[in-house]
Chains A and B, each alone.
Chain A
Amino acid sequence: DVKVTQSSRYLVKRTGEKVFLECVQDMDHENMFWYRQDPGLGLRLIYFSYDVKMKEKGDIPEGYSVSREKKERFSLILESASTNQTSMYLCASSLTGGPTEAFFGQGTRLTVV
């Protein structure tokens, strides 16, 4: 059974802190994604990785970075958390090649105070 696991369900951090959100998938998928979900805005792509150590900026990469040292793990880093980064963060993975569905993790609700 396909599984994408995010390290935390809820997280509260202070402004200026460096924040790490971890995501692990067990399906040997090449592609991994980080989305941000806000009411009325749908899912917005922050960063994307199609292979180990490969990454591409999405639509809203400012204030974020990512790391993919192993195929199964994709980390999202908030270099210096700000209150406008309070949001739901969703990790997803998919196979390369052809139209393929995305499998999502359970999400991390991040609050920056």
Chain B
Amino acid sequence: GQQVMQIPQYQHVQEGEDFTTYCNSSTTLSNIQWYKQRPGGHPVFLIQLVKSGEVKKQKRLTFQFGEAKKNSSLHITATQTTDVGTYFCAGPRAGGTSYGKLTFGQGTILTVHP
């Protein structure tokens, strides 16, 4: 079945350093979504990418969708302590009654040391 792999599993950075997490799907995706889960919290939607090669920015966060629509990345410039949490990518399931069912990556846990 469809698999969404995310690396790295953990990332420790000093405040001010950059951070990148990568997401790879075993199948071509119609879109990819990114979520952030703060410690003790629940996943919260960040963004959705739909077009091949799409790049979107949210302040210090840059999201990319690969040309083949099978991979994606999230890059944070100059991390802050407020960036701590787990970042998940998610792609819609292919075929059948998909109805918004998502396959999530394992997540990248980001720790930022002040």
Contacts and interface: CB of A to CB of B under 8 A. Distances in A.
Contacts of A90: 42-43
A42 B105 contact: yes
Interface stretch (B56-64, B66-74, B95-103): B95-103
| Majority DSSP secondary structure for residues of B touching A | loop
Contacts of A58: 101
Given A31-B99, A40-B9, A99 B43 contact: no
Contacts of B30: 99
Contacts, number: 59
Given A90-B43, A104-B44, A42 B88 contact: yes
Interface in B26-53: 30-31, 33, 35, 41-45, 48, 50
B52 to A, nearest CB: 14
A76 B72 CA distance: 32
Q: Interface extent on A, as a size class? A: 20 to 34
Given A102-B45, A102-B100, 11 more contacts: A33-B101, A48-B101, A50-B97, A99-B30, A101-B45, A101-B48, A102-B33, A104-B44, A105-B42, A106-B41, A107-B42
30 contacts: A31-B99, A33-B101, A35-B104, A40-B9, A42-B105, A43-B43, A43-B88, A44-B104, A45-B101, A45-B102, A48-B99, A50-B97, A56-B97, A94-B100, A95-B100, A96-B99, A99-B31, A99-B33, A99-B50, A100-B100, A101-B33, A101-B45, A102-B33, A102-B43, A102-B45, A102-B102, A103-B45, A104-B43, A104-B44, A105-B42
